Amino acid sequence: MSKTTVILIRHGETLWNKEKRYQGQQDSPLSPKGIKQAEVVGKFLQSRIIDAVYSSDLKRALLTSEHIAKGHQLTPIVDQRLREISFGVWEGKTREQVKKEHPDEWEARSRNVLNTRVSGGELPGEVLERFHSFLAARLADARGQTIVVVSHGGALRLLIASLLHIPLERAHLIHQSNTGISEFVHFEQGERSWWETVCINSTGHLGSYFL
């Protein structure tokens, strides 16, 4: 039986996180607090044996991943499949702005999040398709290893829901804090494979000041 440990981490806080704006695939820089969160999670994981660090190509994730990778003399491997869900025309706007400017889309998505596409955006199932494509490729190469994956809140909620067989329309209930750690172990035995959960959104390394 082989096992692979996958450590999922959301990027540090950004300026748009503070302003509660939809970020999607737009780049908002890490806030001073977010930079410190990235430093803290990097130091926390320094004691772990980590074989590879993968990151979304969006700058907020990449900068966070660099703080983790340097403690292991690694360079983050960038993969666009780890990007946040695209929110199309909503990106850069607050919820109140979206409700005012796109009321029909807002209402439709509130009723059916899985099948309502924001103009120019992605459906949750499309995000999962690319994320699982990434995982399938990496798990084939990383048997017996520990890898870190730095991604985004929405994408990680969907992924975790899928791994735990939680209905995707309930994925929003899986909170992902900035630089929160979720750890899973993937087992393979013959033709069987399964996931076990170690922790979800662990933030003890941050302390109350950085939450």
CA geometry: angle at 204 spanning 174 and 145, to 5°? 75
Type of residue at 151: S
Catalytic residue (choose from 11, 102, 152, 186): 11
Strand, coil or helix: 81: helix
In sequence order, the β-bridge partners of residue 26 are none
- Please indicate whether residue 84 is annotated as part of the active site: yes
Q: Which of 13, 67, 84, 105 is catalytic?
A: 84
Cα separation of 45 and 150, whole Å? 13
In terms of Cα–Cα distance, which of 129, 128, 141 is closest to 54? 141
Kindly state the DSSP code that residue 26 receives in the 8-state scheme.
S
In angstroms, rounded to a whole number, what is the distance separating the alpha carbons of residues 105 and 117? 8
Q: Is 11 a catalytic residue?
A: yes
Residue among 164, 171, 177 at smallest CA distance from 125:
171
Dihedral (CA of 163, 166, 167, 168) sign: negative
CA distances from 152 to 14, 57, 145 (A): 11, 11, 23
Active site residues: 11, 84
